[in-house]
Structure 1
Amino acid sequence: MKSISVVAAVAAVLLSPVAQAADGKAVYEATCVACHASGVANAPKLGDKAAWAPRVATGKDALVKSVLTGKGAMPPKAGNANLKDDDIKAAVDYMLASVK
């Protein structure tokens, strides 16, 4: 019986949100895709190197700040108030990787 409770405790830690790293692709697909797949309101499309070039030049920190605070038609946290900073950073990393 004791081993079952130890296994349950370990499983709870491993499955908790804190124990899991942010998944940039999952965040992109759940939130960012709404605008960045089609270019709604001039959002740079995923993988469009020319559209992303001026944004890449500002650096990752500036891009993350833009998502956190909002920019143009994009509301703060891309309209998803439940996103954590690490989620946003992971999504930015995912989008930047598409234009390297």
Structure 2
Amino acid sequence: MSVMKRLLILSSAVAMSLSAQAMTADAVVEKHCVACHQAGLGGAPKPDDKAAWASRIATGVDAMTQTVLTGKGAMPPKGTCGSCDEEQLKAAVEAMVAPLK
């Protein structure tokens, strides 16, 4: 493999990593969470359904984050944000439930 091709692959990987790190909690929610939750796909609680979220919120943000990390039902591990780290996912969970508290 040529040096130029290696540099291109490396720079692409770094750019993808940086773009995932730079995403705010709201951006993660909008890009990776809203589609399924808005439609209630696979039983996902809808963003404005306080009753559906109540028992989840009662478990705490850490427990909800662990659910996102491991997946649940139709939701794959990390939702659809395979490049998100635990901190980003926790921030996204906090952003999703903040209006419901």
Normalising by structure 2, we get a TM-score of 0.74
Moved over 6 A (4+): none
Give the Cα separation in 1 of the matches to 2:98 and 2:81: 22
Which residue is 1:79 aligned to? 80
Which residue is 1:62 aligned to? 63
Q: How is 1:33-52 mapped onto 2 (pairs within 5 angstroms)? A: 33-52=34-53
State the 1:55 CA deviation.
0.4
Kept after mapping to 1: 8 A contact 2:36/2:44: yes
Kept after mapping to 2: 8 A contact 1:38/1:45: yes
How many percent of aligned residue pairs carry the same amino acid?
Answer: 54
| Post-superposition CA distance 1:21-68 (Å, at most 9, x none) | 752111000000121111111101112111100101111111000000
Where structure 1 has 5 or more consecutive residues not aligned to the other structure, the ranges are 1-16
Which residue is 1:96 aligned to? 97
Q: Considering only aligned residues, what root-mean-square deviation do their CA atoms show, in Å?
A: 1.8
One-letter identity of the residue aligned with 1:27: V
Which deviates further from its counterpart, 53-62 or 20-29?
A: 20-29
Where structure 2 has 5 or more consecutive residues not aligned to the other structure, the ranges are 1-17
The structure number with the bigger radius of gyration is: 1
Kept after mapping to 2: 8 A contact 1:35/1:43: yes
Normalising by structure 1, we get a TM-score of 0.75
